[in-house]
Structures are given as structure tokens and as C-alpha cells.
Amino acid sequence: MKGSTLFGILLGLAAILGSFFFEGGTPDMLFLIPGMTIVIVGTLAAGIAGHDFAMIKRLPRLFKIAFNPPVYDFKEILEQIIQYAAIARRDGILALEGKLKNAKHPYLKKFFEICIDGATPDTFNRIANNEIHYISERHMVNIGFFNKLGGYSPTMGIIGTVMGLILSFASVGSDPNILIRHIGTAFIATLWGILMANIVWLPMGDKLRTIHDNEINLLQMMLDGVEAVQSGETPTVIRARLISAFPLEEQEQIYKGRKIYNIPPPDKITDSGNSIVDNTIKKQ
């Protein structure tokens, strides 16, 4: 998923601008400052009017997330939950306290810490679901902002076009070069409005939504896993419960994951000294 957003934007720009230049266009015909200013600055101004300055300040960070999203391995996290389940079955859930520093996701650590601190299953479920709910609310605000920019941008292009046509009609009878420049500005504003909406703003919103969906799915899987560990379910049952998060063709592969990822089956856990699971965790 990394690099796909930047690649898509660059590919789209290359296709559009390349076609323009192939047809005989020149950069000075396309990059007209007045039209681009109306579209880009006007779009951001409309976004500020509907939100606040804090949202604008978040834009660089949101672009960074879209271009370079955090990547977590679902299978590794699942296997770590299985490891923690084996330890909890043997020594109790309090034995996980010293293992959480190696957690492969910050929320996996947080969820287990809530359980270790003595939260009942109902309390833990409410806390975790509230956490997921508020994450979703924050993400939807960011996604909605980009979608709104995608709606404002073509409108700003039309405003630029109308302004250019007004200036064009006002220039009738004067220097033909001035008339042509105003007409060019008019249509270039429309081009940039549509281009920015469909190559930048809307794809950014879609990418953030994709990242959001993946994160929520991962959080839900971790929540189900921690709940299962807290209730004392066996590692085998937890594995069977959590693999539903994966496509059917991957589930058989995950069942063999104990060999692939060096995860020992529950009957290999010993009662004395460090178990194989402990040693596996220490090696990671």
C-alpha cells in the first residue's frame, strides 16, 4: 500500500499533462497563476471556512500518512496474541505484564494493560469499543474534509472560468492578445478545478478511508483476541476465532503458521522454567 498514492497521482498527472503537451500545448499555456490561485487557494479557503485552522495544520501530516501509511502485519499480530494466550493459560494474565514491551501494535499493548489492571470483561469491552468509536470519529472528520475539498475545487474552477469570461467580454475590441489571455485563463481554471478534485483531493480521501478500514479491522481483531485471552480460551480456539478476519484461501496457511512462524502448539508449553513460547518471544 505504501507508494500507491504518490504513484497514482503522478501517473494521473503524467497522463493528463502529457496528453496536453503532446497536442502542442506549452507550460506557459497551462500553468497560469491567476487560474491556479483561484482554484487552489479558493478551495482551501472554503475548507477553512467550514472547519478550522487546526484542520489546515493537519494537512501535511495527513498527506504523509496517505503517502507512507503505517503497516502492521495482521498475521504476526495474530500469532503474538496466540503466544500471549499460551502464557496466560499457564501463568495467568498478570504474567503478560513483562511481555507487553514487545507488543507489535500499541493498541494491543493498551488492551492487555487494561485487562492486567483488573478490568472486568464488560468494562474492558466498553473501554475498547469506545476507543474504536472515537478513532473512527476522528478519521471520518479527516476523510470528510478531503471529500469536501473535492467538491469545492470544481466549483472554484467554474468561478475562475466565469471571471475569465467576464474579463474576456470586457476586452472585446481591445488588443487581441489580452482577449486571448483572458479566455485561456477562463478555461484553465476549469481544468485545474476538475484536475485537483479528481487527482488529489478525492483520491486522498479514498486513501485515508482505506487506511481507516484496515486499521479498524485490525483493532477489532485485537479486541476479539484480547477478550478471548481474558476469558481463558485456549490458543487453538482463539486462533480459530481470529482467522475469520482473513480471506478463506489464507486461513489454511494461518493454521500452518505455527511452523512458519515458529509458534509452538499448546501441548509443547512446559510447567517448569521458561516455556518454548517464552523463548520464542525473547527471540523476536
Structure confidence at residue 24 (pLDDT): 80
Structure confidence at residue 108 (pLDDT): 93
For residue 156, tell me if it sits in a domain: no
For residue 264, tell me if it sits in a domain: yes
For residue 164, tell me if it sits in a domain: no
Contact 105, 72 (CB under 8 A): yes
Rounded CA separation 134/254 (Å):
31
- Taken as a whole, the chain contains a residue count of 284
Contact 194, 154 (CB under 8 A): yes
Spatial CB neighbours of 227, under 8 Å, sequence gap ≥ 6? 121, 124, 125
Structure confidence at residue 281 (pLDDT): 39
Average pLDDT for 95-100: 88
Q: What is the pLDDT of residues 111-163, one digit of tens each?
A: 999 999 988 999 999 999 999 999 999 999 999 999 999 999 999 999 988 88
For residue 49, tell me if it sits in a domain: no
Count of structural domains within the chain = 1
For residue 24, tell me if it sits in a domain: no
For residue 158, tell me if it sits in a domain: no
* Percentage of the chain lying above the pLDDT 90 cut: 42
Q: What is the pLDDT of residues 185-236, one digit of tens each?
A: 778 889 999 999 999 999 999 999 999 999 999 999 999 999 999 988 888 8
- Number of C-beta neighbours around residue 282 at 10 A: 10
H-state helical runs in 31-120: 33-50, 53-67, 74-91, 106-116
For 95, the domain range is 74-131+217-283
Our CA dihedral for 122, 128, 131, 137, rounded to 10 degrees, sits at -80
For residue 189, tell me if it sits in a domain: no
Q: What is the pLDDT of residues 52-80, one digit of tens each?
A: 888 888 999 999 999 998 888 888 899 89
For residue 254, tell me if it sits in a domain: yes
Please report which confidence band the pLDDT of residue 252 belongs to, taking 50, 70 and 90 as the band edges.
Answer: confident
Structure confidence at residue 115 (pLDDT): 92
